[in-house]
Amino acid sequence: MRHFYLLGQSNYALSVILDTLREQFPREKISVEIVPNVEPEKNDSLVWPYETPGVETNAVWWEDWKPAPDIPCLLGSIGRSRQAIVQFFAEKFSIGPERYENTVHPTAVVPVTTRLGRGIHISPGAVVAPYAGLGDFVVLNRACSIGHHTELADFVSINPGVTVSGVCRIGRGVTIGSGATVLDQIMIGDGSVIGAGSVVTKNIPAGVVAYGVPAKIVREV
C-alpha cells in the first residue's frame, strides 16, 4: 500500500492528481489522506466528483491532522491557490518543498536530462524537450510542450495546448493560458499572465497581463 498526504482540496485538481497516481502505480493499492485548509462554505470546487477507482481516500481537517514524517505530500491544487496552500502548511506544520512528491502521468514525455523540482504535476500528453528545467510546484497541463533548455521557475502554470519554445526563461508564478505560443529565447517576468491563444514574440516584464497576436501588455496584474 502506498500512502500519500494531499494538502489542500480543490476537487478539480484531486480528480486529475488521483487519476495520475492510479496510472503511475497501476499494480499497487493507494491510500490518500486529504487535508483541507479552507472551510467548505468557501470552497466552490466541492460539488465536483474526484473519487478514483483503486484509490482509497479520507479527509481530515487541518486542525485535526497529525502528519507522520515518512509519508510524502502532494499539493491538492493545480491552479492559482498552490502558493497559498504551500505557505499555509509551511507555517502551520513546517512542511517544506522536500516533503512533496511529483505526479507525472505515464503518457507524458520527460527526458532523463530534465531537471525536476518538487511538488510538480505533469498531465497526460505533455512533452518536455531535453535539458529543460522545472522548478518547484510547476504544473504542465494536458498536451502542452516545453522546449529544450527552457527554464520554468517555481509555481509556473502551463495550461492545455501551450507551446513554450526553446531556450525560454519563464519567471516565478507565471500563468500561460490555453493554446498560447511562446517563441524561442523569450523571457517572461515573475507573476505575469499570458492570455489564452496569444503568441509571445517579445520579452514580457514582471507583473503584467499580456495577450493577443502578437501579445501586448494590457495592464498590470
Beta strands in 105-204 (DSSP E): 115-116, 121-122, 127-128, 133-134, 139-140, 145-146, 151-152, 157-158, 163-164, 169-170, 175-176, 181-182, 187-188, 193-194, 199-200
Predicted confidence at residue 180, as pLDDT, reads 98
- Burial of 39-65, coded b for 16+ CB within 10 Å and e otherwise, reads eeeebebeeeebebeebebeeeebeeb
Helices (H) and strands (E) in the chain, counts: 2, 22
Residue 148 annotated as catalytic? yes
pLDDT averaged over every residue in the chain: 97
pLDDT digits (tens, 9 = 90+) for 32-65: 999 999 999 999 999 999 999 999 999 999 999 9
Q: Is pTM beyond 0.85 here?
A: yes
* Mean predicted confidence (pLDDT) in 128-133: 98
Does position 8 have pLDDT exceeding 90, yes or no? Answer: yes
Catalytic residue among 3, 121, 148, 149: 148
pLDDT at 80 exceeding the cut of 90: no
pLDDT digits (tens, 9 = 90+) for 153-210: 999 999 999 999 999 999 999 999 999 999 999 999 999 999 999 999 999 999 999 9
Residue 144 has pLDDT above 90, yes or no: yes
CATH 3.40.50.300 fits 102-214, yes or no: no
- At 157 the pLDDT is 98
